[in-house]
């Protein structure tokens, strides 16, 4: 097993234990034992228990970003705010660790709930919304920061609500009605913007990947 395979194995085990027992109860000894390695080997990758579990979430965020990028490249309509919201919502809610993260679930996260940072996502969202605004694909009567806040609050409300079988469609319809013009967008414009938006979110995924790939931080 090479270094990267070992790191992935450690993250697999740590993520599973986190969901079963919660951050407060999982130790490095637990992770090492179930990964079939020595405790010191874990510290070859991450300098602390907290860094290890941050890496667990970074990997999940990178995977969610990859899904979003793949959806944009497969269908340029995913560039639209309501469609991107749908894909993001389905990706996050389909990943138990990310569900716990967006809900700040204390049973899973423990004190990690206080350490969450969204700076990279905030920057990407601002750039993405700016691009949509420049091409009249979202409402332009709100300043960019207010538009971003309102969109995020809408999405967060759905994340924090009880599960519903039609939640992804409902959040997409809500976002479309609240933030997008009624006119149908030009497919040629969406095809033109899709590579830019895909690259934007690919960069975010790569930043998360660089942070968890077995590098001491």
Q: Tens of pLDDT along 16-29?
A: 999 999 999 999 99
Distance CA 46, CA 130 (A): 37
Residue-wise pLDDT tens digits, 183-215? 999 999 999 999 999 999 999 999 888 877 654
Residues 6+ apart with CB under 8 A from 209: 58, 59, 62
Confidence of residue 217 (pLDDT cuts 50, 70, 90): very low
Distance of CA 150 to CAs 12, 13, 139, 173, 209, Å? 35, 37, 12, 15, 29
Residue-wise pLDDT tens digits, 130-152? 999 999 999 999 999 999 999 99
For residue 172, report the phi and psi dihedrals to the nearest 5 degrees. Answer: -65, -45
Per the CB < 8 A criterion, the answer to whether 197 and 121 are in contact is no
pLDDT, residue 210, reads 84
pLDDT, residue 120, reads 57
Per-residue pLDDT, averaged over 76-80, amounts to 98
Domain chopping of the chain, boundaries: 3-212
pLDDT, residue 61, reads 93
For residue 214, report the phi and psi dihedrals to the nearest 5 degrees. Answer: 60, 30
Q: What is the mean pLDDT of the chain?
A: 92
Per the CB < 8 A criterion, the answer to whether 28 and 49 are in contact is yes
For residue 216, report the phi and psi dihedrals to the nearest 5 degrees. Answer: -65, 135
Residue-wise pLDDT tens digits, 19-71? 999 999 999 999 999 999 999 999 999 999 999 999 999 999 999 999 999 99
Residue-wise pLDDT tens digits, 7-16? 999 999 999 9
Among 1.10.510.10, 3.40.50.300, 2.60.120.460, 1.10.357.10, name the CATH number for the domain at 3-212.
1.10.357.10
Confidence of residue 112 (pLDDT cuts 50, 70, 90): confident
Q: Note the pTM of the prediction, 2 decimals.
A: 0.90
More confident residue, 125 or 77: 77
pLDDT, residue 115, reads 65
Helix (H, G, I), strand (E, B) or coil at 50: helix
Residues 6+ apart with CB under 8 A from 153: none
Confidence of residue 216 (pLDDT cuts 50, 70, 90): very low
């Amino acid at each position: 097993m090479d270094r990267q395979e070992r790191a992935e194995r450690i993250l697999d085990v740590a993520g599973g234990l986190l969901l079963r027992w919660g951050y407060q109860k999982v130790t490095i000894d637990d992770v090492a034992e179930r990964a079939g390695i020595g405790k010191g080997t874990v510290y070859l990758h991450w300098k602390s228990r907290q860094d290890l579990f941050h890496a667990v979430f970074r990997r999940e965020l990178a995977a969610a970003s990859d899904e979003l990028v793949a959806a944009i490249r497969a269908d340029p309509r995913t560039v639209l705010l309501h469609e991107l919201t749908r894909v993001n919502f389905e990706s996050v809610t389909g990943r138990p660790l990310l569900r716990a993260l967006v809900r700040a679930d204390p049973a899973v996260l423990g004190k990690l709930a206080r350490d969450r940072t969204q700076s990279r996502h905030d920057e990407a969202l601002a750039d993405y919304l700016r691009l949509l605004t420049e091409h009249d694909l979202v409402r332009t009567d709100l300043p960019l920061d207010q538009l971003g806040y309102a969109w995020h609050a809408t999405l967060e409300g759905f994340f924090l609500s009880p599960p519903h079988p039609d939640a992804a469609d409902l959040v997409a319809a809500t976002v479309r009605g609240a933030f997008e013009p009624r006119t149908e967008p030009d497919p040629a414009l969406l095809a033109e913007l899709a590579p830019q938006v895909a690259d934007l979110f690919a960069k975010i995924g790569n930043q998360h990947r660089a942070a968890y790939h077995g590098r001491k931080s």
